[in-house]
Amino acid sequence: MFQAVASDLVNYLNGKKRQTATLADLDVAVEKVLVTTKSYFYYIWSEDCNDAERALLRMLARDEEVGAQTSQHLYEWQDLSRKEIVEMRDGKYRFCVELLRDWISKNKP
């Protein structure tokens, strides 16, 4: 995903005939990647995850502290981790790819 954002950012800057990016330019590149990877994220959402996992991902997209509640829904968290959708860092589950958080926030609130 980082490569996709970087590629879109470079293409965007080339189109503007600039070599230096701003945060606004990065936002443009991220938005474009969210559109171009829509089917990838949709597949993860609809095919890789069950209803319980989707509920956890929605909550995690809204509030990272949800990922600290590892005793609840332990099986689902472990399954999401096995699928490399979330990972344990600093005692909390977090998204492996932050763009998935953005996609869920925008498309599956």
Task: Show the beta-strand stretches assigned E in 1-109.
Answer: 86-89, 92-95
- The answer to whether residue 12 scores a pLDDT higher than 90 is no
CATH classification code of 50-107:
1.10.10
Q: Which residues pair with 87 in a beta bridge?
A: 94
- Measured from the Cβ of residue 44, the count of other Cβ atoms closer than 10 Å reads 20
Would you kindly state where each structural domain of the chain is located, as residue ranges?
Answer: 2-36, 50-107
State phi, psi for 92 to the nearest 5 degrees: -135, 150
User: What digits encode the pLDDT tens for the residues 30-81?
Assistant: 888 777 778 888 999 999 999 999 999 999 999 877 777 667 788 999 999 9
- The answer to whether residue 96 scores a pLDDT higher than 90 is yes
Task: Look at residue 69 in the predicted model and tell me its pLDDT.
Answer: 66
pTM: 0.75
Picking from 95, 23, 13, 9, the residue whose alpha carbon sits closest to that of residue 57 is 95
- Measured from the Cβ of residue 49, the count of other Cβ atoms closer than 10 Å reads 19
pLDDT, the chain, mean: 87
CA distance 73 to 76: 5
Task: Look at residue 1 in the predicted model and tell me its pLDDT.
Answer: 61
